[in-house]
Chains A and B, each alone.
Chain A
Amino acid sequence: MQDLQHEELTIRVEQEGDTMCLRWQGKSTARTPGTFLLPFFQAVVNEIGERKIHVDNDLTRLQHLNSSTLAAMIGIIRLFRNGDVSMRVLYDPMVGWQERSIDALRILESPTSIVRFEASRGR
């Protein structure tokens, strides 16, 4: 997988054992982020396929995201559910906006969900 670069947003792809780490950096402020995020994450799901690899979607270094990106995140979660690929969304609980954004998205998480939100101090 290639890194994603769009305007002020970079998502670096790193493979660590049985984990694919997607590290968001910069700011996600595009007008229609779903147009490039969803194809990128669909490619991630396709790449993993049947392999027992899980994804860490690491937001801890992200500086800002707009609500259009939060909407795209809902689509990303749907892609992972449909592809039966497990994903952790990592956020920094000491960063107020990250804590609040994820707090809201937790409504999409269920106890048996393959998509989970976890606090992490990545900085």
Chain B
Amino acid sequence: MLRWLARRFAQIIPTLIVLSVMIFGLQQLMPGDPAMILAGEERGDPVVLAQIRAELRLDRSLPEQYLHWIGNVLVGDFGFSWRIREPVANLILQKLPVTFQLSAMAFIIAVLIGVPAGILSATRRDRPADWIANGIALFGISMPNFWLGIMMILLFSVELGWLPPSGYVPLTEDFWQSIATTIMPAFVLGTGVASVLMRHTRAAMLGALAQDYVRTARAKGVVERVVVWKHALRNALIPVVTLGTIEFGRLLAGAVLTEQIFTIPGFGKLIVDAVFNRDYPVVQGVVLATALIFVTLSLIADLLYMAVNPRMRQA
């Protein structure tokens, strides 16, 4: 077990090094001169452009720029935002909890809808409940987030006046207000995942219900409820848990669009605005942090496997 963990951690380090090079390199492929973007309408003065390039080390070679950045990152300094001069680490720490809250709420909504719907649809296979669940799932996957978002704002904020149309209040400031500002975006974000979870739960459940041990259990006279919940579901959940953690990571990334619509000042909005403003240190810092989160999540998924499936503990 410990050896497995050590090996797992050893794999993470080269992954992160390769990632950091890719993050830095890909960004250089983006067209547009950051100094000129920073100058905006004042780009007419070549002296100022030269000063910006010198200050931001844009006049150095790429390897030099990379080593300077990664060297600072290793000692915990992510640099500062070129646009607003805030330290990138502060921005990440400020925005990460926001997106985390949004994703967690979206995930809860997705699990609450997706898993029961999947079970229901598997146990009532080819009956109206199955068809309805499948129809709703298809709708959930195909509906564009921005459209659903705008429609919800129009209904719940403009027409009914129940919820604030956009913005964000931290949990620590006002719990209920915080829930009120995040419930609509969380729902919009969660619908897609709920559909994916529903489809996978259904497939896994159908597979499990066809297994020999389920037939044996039924033959022994075990009541159907126990067969479904105890025997089939536990086994069916293994792939769903893997998928769930990956989907949670995707939620963090998928928050980009939802955060734009609802003006939620989270991670997604931070990176989109940084890309458009060519605010390189922010882009690099955020992507690197996201990569770290993904790597950590896949580690958690492996650990969860072990918790769910005892056979893997001996491996």
A and B: real partners? no
Interface residues of chain B, those whose CB is within 8 Å of chain A, are: none
Query: Which positions in A face B, CB cutoff 8 Å?
Result: none
